[in-house]
Amino acid sequence: MREATQLARVEEFLPRWRELPIYRAALENNFYRLPLIGKRELRENFPSNFLRAGQNLDALLENKSVELEHTSGTSEERTAVLFGRGWWNAQETRVLRLNKFVAQILDENPNARRATLVPPICNGLVCFSNWTSKSARTVDTTLFVNEARIPFLLTEAEFARMAGEILEWSPVFLDLDPVHGAWFALYCERNGIKFPSVKFVLCSYEFVSVVHREILQRVFGVPIFNFYGSTETGHLLMENERGEMQASLENVFYEIIEPDERGIGNLVVTTLTNDVMPLVRYRIGDLVERCELPYTTNYFVHGRARDALRRCDGRRVTTLEIDRCFADVNGIAHYQLRQNENGECDLQFIPDREAPSTEELNQVTAQIENLLQLKNKITVSAVEKLPPLTSGKFRLTCRV
């Protein structure tokens, strides 16, 4: 019933969307027969593909009716996107309120400050580098504290500067890339630094591993919530106070296409609130599982489709399935599992404050070997750092 109600709303938008060149020839009356689009279609003839008759991007920017941003370029080259003025904050607020705990905190603090730690290039709204002044990194109620793409290369002095700025800013919550956030948390733990104003932590920008979550929970001692979305679509799912990933039906129409036998498929979304650049049947590139319950629908984000591994029988194994193998192991701050063309795997990990025991590592690798039906043992090595993609994001699993 919820989907039928949403679909009726989508169909009401079709005449309006037909005014955009990108959809003029493609839109049919049957929504499910519309072609899928991706970043390539967004880039083709931009911005003309999203401008209505008589519109000019320079004029729209000059009168401040739109915002021009760019994606991080995780899986493809960076892509320009257009927002209506104020759209980002409005849709973010709606998704945040899917969590009752967060909603109550924000009600009590209507001008809640946040501190954000993300790879500079990963943030679609603001990019900072080269030691920009604190005032330049302060945007309304948000302080961007991180200026480095690779957290493992940060010096103690740089961490101290970040911690000092957060303490002075007194944010109500932290907005973290999980890898950057976990590495920063370990610095805070080593130095006994606490942030008494912080009530919760949002993890976004990339896949949230159980190893990152464990560190963030241990160090900051407040609820940790997964906040999932993308620059071009806005926020799509919010983890509620019960640990369930919930959808924002006001913001987005969700589809899971090409599901496997377990119901894990590619996420396709149609955005409903960005009239400047609506995305119709847009393929995100992530694998998602939808669980229908009598009174709600839960989602499980399985990671990037390109990062999925393969069993010897050809079945897909997702980043989430691999990450679950690390749930009961201590001593890992970050990791990457790589699979070569022959199916063999090697695991590299960065130790936490104390490295895991040989027994714990054997437990993890045995689970992964069974999951992937590997014939050979996984090669394991501890390392001091792992490189990110050019976007600044990290791959927990990958095929090489």
Mean pLDDT over 66-82 rounds to 78
Three-state SS string over the chain comes to CHHHHHHHHHHHHHHHHCCCHHHHCCCCCCHHHCCCECHHHHHCCCCHHHCCCCCCHHHHHHCCCEEEEECCCCCCCCCEEEEECCHHHHHHHHHHCCCHHHHHHHHHCCCCCEEEECCHHHCCCCCCCCCCCCHHHEECCEEECCCCCCHHHCCHHHHHHHHHHHHHHCCCEEEECHHHHHHHHHHHHHCCCCCCCCCEEEECCCCCCHHHHHHHHHHHCCCEEEEEEECCCEEEEEECCCCCEEECCCCEEEEEECCCCCCEEEEEEEECCCCCCCCCCEEEEEEEEEEECCCCEEEEEEEEHHHCEECCCCCEECHHHHHHHHCCCCCEEEEEEEECCCCCEEEEEEECCCCCCHHHHHHHHHHHHHHHCCCCCCEEEECCCCCCCCCCCCCCEEEC
Q: In the chain, what are the domain boundaries?
A: 1-305, 306-399
Q: Which CATH number applies to 1-305: 3.40.50.12780, 1.10.8.60, 1.10.3720.10, 3.40.50.410?
A: 3.40.50.12780
Does pLDDT of 231 surpass 80? yes
Does pLDDT of 143 surpass 90? yes
- Condensed to tens digits (0 to 9), the pLDDT of residues 10-42 reads 888 988 998 999 998 776 677 888 899 999 999
Percentage of the residues of the chain whose pLDDT score is greater than 70? 95
Q: Identical fold at 1-305 and 306-399?
A: no
Residue 201: its pLDDT value, please?
98
pTM for the predicted model, two decimal places: 0.92
Mean pLDDT over 264-280 rounds to 95
Does pLDDT of 170 surpass 80? yes
For the ranges 125-129, 133-137, 177-181, 353-357, the maximum mean pLDDT occurs at 177-181
**What is the CATH architecture of 306-399?**
2-Layer Sandwich (3.30)
